[in-house]
Structure 1
Amino acid sequence: MRAWQIENTEGLDGLKLAELELPDPGPGEVRVRLRANAINYRDLSVISDPVARDVELPRIPNSDGAGEVLAVGAGVTGFAPGDRVAGCFFQNWIDGPCTAEAMASAMGGEIEGVLAEERNLRADGLVKIPDHLSFAEAATLPCAGLTAWRALVPVGKLKAGDTVLLLGTGGVSIFALQFATLMGARVIITSSSDEKLAKAKALGAWQTVNYRSTPDWEKAVLEMTEGRGVDLTVEVGGAGTLQKSIAATRIAGTIGFIGILAGGEVNPRPIMSKSLTVQGIYVGSRNLFRDMNRAIAAAELRPVIDRSFAFEDAPEAYRTMKAAGHFGKLVIEI
């Protein structure tokens, strides 16, 4: 079977298409014919600088893939050939809080990823996908979808009538927009593009802010909320935007901290003085994935895909990710 591998430290030039042998699935394993991958900024980071992330080479990249079961190993129950499935970002995080063992099972980094025609995955590291979704749509769920769901539901305890602040229009933020709107929350979303903000408005955003034309966007958010601030912020920017997110979040509100995109320094004092909860969020467990899929199926929600690429053109997908012009998710179809 063919697979893309990170073979050296030359960035995207080090990504090579290889022919690999795949053994029969072992006990507790499931062989999956991958039909689509979705890419995340984390995948681009791993390819761009595997040394910084202590990734052993060669390594198959990407955490997010969906496909169909070809065969099951000894002892596997709950899956059969033909089932439509997606792999979990963490192959060893079933439920409860994250652990060191779970962190060591992140696909496309600590262990082999899914940018391949076929992969053997743990049976307890798979979930069945909603019937109404295509493989490309289902491939967007394991990282961006589940990260947004965890930020809003178990961490943010979102309820109807709450106000949510989202930064940018990448995969996590657009999933959070869809989920929050579905749950009856009011969404404020930022972007440097008026065109993207118009698309977000069409998806249900309550208010929008162009942070390029309004650099003090946290003040705009406070004005929109009559000085109170938002109940929950999904912070994907990083240290460079966190201070503004702290200012825009109400007293005793919550910030789901996800991003590493913008560097900078943070004064932690307002976190204390405003009694904020700031929770680091790194995807989620298999059981949370199942919970999210039930909600997606019930609402027949469809992920937003900006553009799809052929398997042979995978490097171009990462170049498009790097250019940061997309709205929603980028997908590689196999």
Structure 2
Amino acid sequence: MNILVTGGAGFIGSAVVRYLIEQTDHRVVNVDALTYAGNLESLTEVEGSERYAFEHVDINNAAQMQAVFERHQPDVVMHLAAESHVDRSIDGPAAFIQTNIVGTYTLLEAARQYWNGLKERAPEKAAGFRFHHISTDEVYGDLEGPEDLFTEETPYAPSSPYSASKASSDHLVRAWQRTYGLPVLVTNCSNNYGPYHFPEKLIPLMILNALAGKALPVYGDGQQVRDWLYVEDHARALVKVALEGEVGETYNIGGHNEKTNLEVVETLCDLLQELVPSERSYRKLITFVADRPGHDLRYAIDADKIERELGWRPEETFETGLRKTVQWYLDNRQWWQRVQDGSYQGERLGSL
């Protein structure tokens, strides 16, 4: 099949592209605007494949997106292109409204126009067409009790400009199915981590700061809880949903790894102490800083539906995935050093 992946040069998108090229026989079209977090160096392993094509296109550009659909004739769209960092959304929400809401609308319209054309000229291909929208568990807000879990029926209650923009895009996707019949699927995932992660996010930032002997800033008291999902496990889940999920359904994807932010940072420190011993314990670099505005306390995913209906389960534990992640950053200094030479040098964002 022809699979169109938006945001395929980003963290999760590049993992999806690598998985599709390396583990399947499908053809992949990567559509990416290459904003600050898009990095084609994350795709060097696959860029020589005859089954891979790259289109440097912004999903907000309706004419160019329509041309991409006509040129590549996708069977499946996997929509990952998004602004995704909560802190950046606090500093500059406009970009999140534009990309996550307007961009999703523009893409939906391009897909609808293409799909309507298929129904006339290739009805069998139209019958199998799917639009898979990839979202986040942050649209649900936060959980009050220590035992509660997000399910596919949890009401939306977003807290940040980022999560509100993603919630809006989710609603648009479902409305395009309800109103126009567009065959859609939606997934909401927990926090991802792993190789090729842009270093503004918690885990890569802590690794690189620790290696540089810099402070490890932890928001508030560090007791915010997240469910951590290894990015390659997530990529497998996304492809399974896109190809085998039931149209119209939502699937929550989680890693079964609830950890406080402080636990994550302390575990990273201990791993680095083992792999790159320091005379001064890395834990001594931990510094508590003012909390993020509107910081959600706890996220946790109930992934029973995708496990029960599609047979997906994460392969990595938090311990094995984190060790692989740290080792990757140690082995790929050129990748992250070039990123650090660019638009982000580890400064704090979203502090108001």
TM-score, with structure 1 as normaliser: 0.34
Pick the structure with more helix per residue.
2
TM-score scaled by structure 2? 0.33
